[in-house]
Amino acid sequence: MTIHYSIPKDTVCLVKERAKIDFQTPLLEKKTVKELEINVVQKLDVDPKNIFRHIKKLVGEKVEKDDLLAEKKGLFSTKKFFSPTGGVIREIDHNLGIIIISTTGKEKNKILSPFKGEVEKVSKDSLQIKIGKGEEFVVKNPSSDFGGEVIYFDPSSTQSVSEVSKKIVLTDNITSYLQVKTEAMGAKGFVTLDKLPEKTDLPSASLKNPEDFKKIRKLDYPYCTIAVQSAKIYFYQ
């Protein structure tokens, strides 16, 4: 089975064709974006209401380090303020006299693969991932792209909650108590029929079609991957 995966914007693919990948493989790299607030009022000693008279850049304009951002001309002297960093002017607050610059940080976030398989093809904005035998189903409200080993969790059984560690919990419904407990025991995410009773920081999604749950349980595939853009979940070997 082959999955077509869209590469999110502002990310760089880290894998090459024919590479074997799993859930611990760094798949993408995303640069961090920071926002720098500059108080022009304090820098130039001007009235916030008159800031537009002194600003030399517009919202959305790109700036480089040491570019002239603002200037106050006086009778005997001129005050100038230069950008301390490169970036883009995101906002100019005419009430507070503040410029906000969005900058790309040096730090980079590596995004782990939500798949276990082999990279068949790498293009500018997508990947083709070959996985084992499997089937796809429709989900709703996926919080993010995620994947991993699945545990089929039955709240009514004597199944040990400790078994959920580092696994994606698949269940038709779950109580608040068991949700909190499974999270505490290291669950990796949730795929459910009913909406989770509690808010969670873990990735989650719900099956759109209730009849799919029994089919998925019968297939009993060990892995799953959820793709936000396609709103699909893939269960596979």
Nearest to 237 by CA among 140, 135, 126: 135
* pLDDT for 158: 65
Ranges in the chain annotated CATH 3.50.30: 2-25+113-236
**Res. 179: pLDDT tops 90:** yes
* pLDDT for 171: 95
- pTM, entire model: 0.71
For the segment 188-198, the average pLDDT, to the nearest whole number, is: 95
Question: 2-25+113-236 in CATH: which number?
Answer: 3.50.30
What is the 8-class DSSP label of residue 211?
T
Contact 4, 119 (CB under 8 A): no
Q: Which CATH architecture has domain 32-106?
A: Beta Barrel (2.40)
For the segment 182-203, the average pLDDT, to the nearest whole number, is: 95
Ranges in the chain annotated CATH 2.40.50: 32-106
The residue assigned the tokens 């009849």 is 211
Looking at residue 167, its amino acid is: K
